[in-house]
Structure 1
Amino acid sequence: MAAAAAEEPPAPLSGVGWAATPEAAPAGWSVLTTSVEGAAANLGKGFGHKGGGYLCVSTGGQAATGPVVTDVQVLSERNPQPTGYSRVPEFPEPRAGVSRKKRVYVRLQPLSAADTAVFDIKLSSKSKAIPHYMKIGELGGFAVWCKKGPVPKSSLAPVPSPRTVSLGLKQLSLQPAADSEQKAPERPLARSGTKRASFTLPNSVDDGSGIYNLSAMDGVPFTLHPKFESSLSFGSNALLAELNVKSLADIEKEYNYAFVVERTAAARLPPSIC
């Protein structure tokens, strides 16, 4: 059952402190009583206290939204307190005038503003190195190591999802529907005579070909000359009676030309009149 459950990412530390005894640490705090080698991790000598002392850490859990520890420093009492850092709390409250040879400082930042944080602190002998941990100093004959990493996204407060535009608003449109558009009726050309052929001009708006298919006669009404309106009626052959039909012989006789000049020039002979 436990193996099937997904492992939750570790939570960053929310505090680092010092406890005079393991029992002095408040609820929710974990006391580092041993080093990685298994030796008792009493750091009283490093703090200049004869009774001893232990480092302790606190984690707010996965649901924590308060400040987290982003850095830890172990400095001598001769070093000034770094800007943006605070001295770790002591349990019980320290007595006034008690000197500490080494002091531990932490930097706290809101969880939402922290990119990296401290996830664990361990102690070891001065000659041992702990993989994936960074040494931050020495206390009471022990080396102090911390492990840093990026703040997991699951530790951050849930971000509300952006509102989406409702379907009703998306369906609103100022453009008319395609099926509601009606084509303009074809416009018949005005008649300018008593008897003439008529035709309709298609609407140029509906013509997808554009103006490139138009000619000079587009839009000009077709009408007959008044000379022919009196003698011509639709369905009669009166106009055909006035036509003079010529045969091929009549045309050759009317337009006969001997090409004398051309033939004389081609022969390069002096012209002669026959």
Structure 2
Amino acid sequence: MMAAPETNDPSCYPLTGMGWSSNPSTCPKEYQLINTTADGSSANFAKGFGQKSSCFLCVSSLLNKENPQGDIVSDIQLLPDKNPLPSGYAFIAEFLDPKVNVSKKKRLCIKRVPFSEADTAVFDVKLTGKSKQIVPLYTCIGELSGFVIWCRKGKVAKPKPLPKPRSISFDMRGLSLENESSRIKEEPLVRISKRRTNLEHKDSIYSAENIYGISAMDGVPFVLHPRFESNVNVPNANIRNFQIKSHAEIENEYNYSFMTEKTAAARLPPTAS
């Protein structure tokens, strides 16, 4: 984006073209007539040619500062008719009525370069009379038909390049936590402890309302290491005759009065005769 003031004034942006125009009707819509001088006088160049018609300078500006494209005017020169045209320069355009002619004694030419290659550019053009009037910050181009032509040059502020999006390699994408979590969800879990699978979310330690009851191992499946698994096959026992007894039945069945022991303890030990 160009470093230009937030304004619609065309003089704040580089010129893209320059030409001659008879009046507003012959001037293209993208051009602006310079119909007055710096002090407010008429800037009609045709008066100096002895003609009754009008002839004005007109300029076009680069108004699209968000996306600058195309060529801009980098320099303006006023050349005598016999001088050869410098390399890279062209005479300004003519948008004139058929009967209007421009003096060929001196001719204006401009140099246009692509915006991306320009370091400096012409931002504005002003006219003054033959008097020694000075236009601050403007450079004098020369005198033509009783007018002095001035231009204001400046550096072109290029748009800041946008950072290129960083490309993530395939290996880095493979380390993505998001991909890893989705992979874990898709893969079946094997040898999960029954104790873990029997835990319900309604238990207090897994309640969302009690954040202090959530452990760091929450959600991690419990898997027994193969080295601790038993490989002994236990045959199915025949338990068809298995009988369940109550506590009273067990006490009655195994009730022992200890009478023999009590009788033996009651005997008197033998005495020596």
- TM-score by structure 1 length? 0.53
Counterpart position of 1:131: 136
| Structure number with bigger Rg | 1
Counterpart position of 2:241: none
Question: Alpha-carbon deviation of 1:76?
Answer: 1.8
Are 2:85 and 1:81 equivalent residues in the alignment?
yes
Are 2:109 and 1:116 equivalent residues in the alignment?
no
Counterpart position of 2:62: 60
Q: Does the CA contact (< 8 Å) of 2:116 and 2:158 recur in 1?
A: no
Deviates more, 1:127-136 or 1:37-46: 37-46
Say what the alpha-carbon RMSD is for the aligned residues: 3.0
Identity of aligned pairs, percent?
39
Counterpart position of 2:104: 100
Are 2:142 and 1:143 equivalent residues in the alignment?
no
Q: Does the CA contact (< 8 Å) of 1:47 and 1:102 recur in 2?
A: no
Counterpart position of 1:7: 6
Deviates more, 1:16-25 or 1:26-35: 16-25
Gaps (5+ residues) in structure 2?
Answer: 176-273
Deviation per CA, 1:145-178, whole angstroms, max 9, x where unpaired? 0000111224xxx6342232538856999xxxxx
Structure 1: which 4+ aligned runs deviate by more than 4 Å?
Answer: 45-50, 93-99, 167-173
Q: Does the CA contact (< 8 Å) of 1:18 and 1:91 recur in 2?
A: yes
- CA distance change for structure 1 residues 48 and 58 in 2, over 3 Å: closer, same or farther? farther
Q: Does the CA contact (< 8 Å) of 1:47 and 1:53 recur in 2?
A: no
The residue type paired with residue 7 of structure 1 is E
- CA distance change for structure 1 residues 152 and 130 in 2, over 3 Å: closer, same or farther? same
Mapping of residues 111-260 of structure 1, within 5 Å: 111-126=115-130, 127-154=132-159, 159-166=161-168
Question: Alpha-carbon deviation of 1:58?
Answer: 0.3
- CA distance change for structure 1 residues 48 and 84 in 2, over 3 Å: closer, same or farther? farther
Q: Which one of 9, 34, 37 corresponds to residue 35 of structure 1?
A: 37
Counterpart position of 1:23: 25
Q: Does the CA contact (< 8 Å) of 2:26 and 2:97 recur in 1?
A: no
Q: Does the CA contact (< 8 Å) of 1:19 and 1:53 recur in 2?
A: yes
Deviation per CA, 1:102-158, whole angstroms, max 9, x where unpaired? 21100000000001100000001231010000001112211100000111224xxx6
Counterpart position of 1:70: 74
Question: Alpha-carbon deviation of 1:78?
Answer: 2.0
- TM-score by structure 2 length? 0.53
* Count of residue pairs brought into register by the alignment: 165
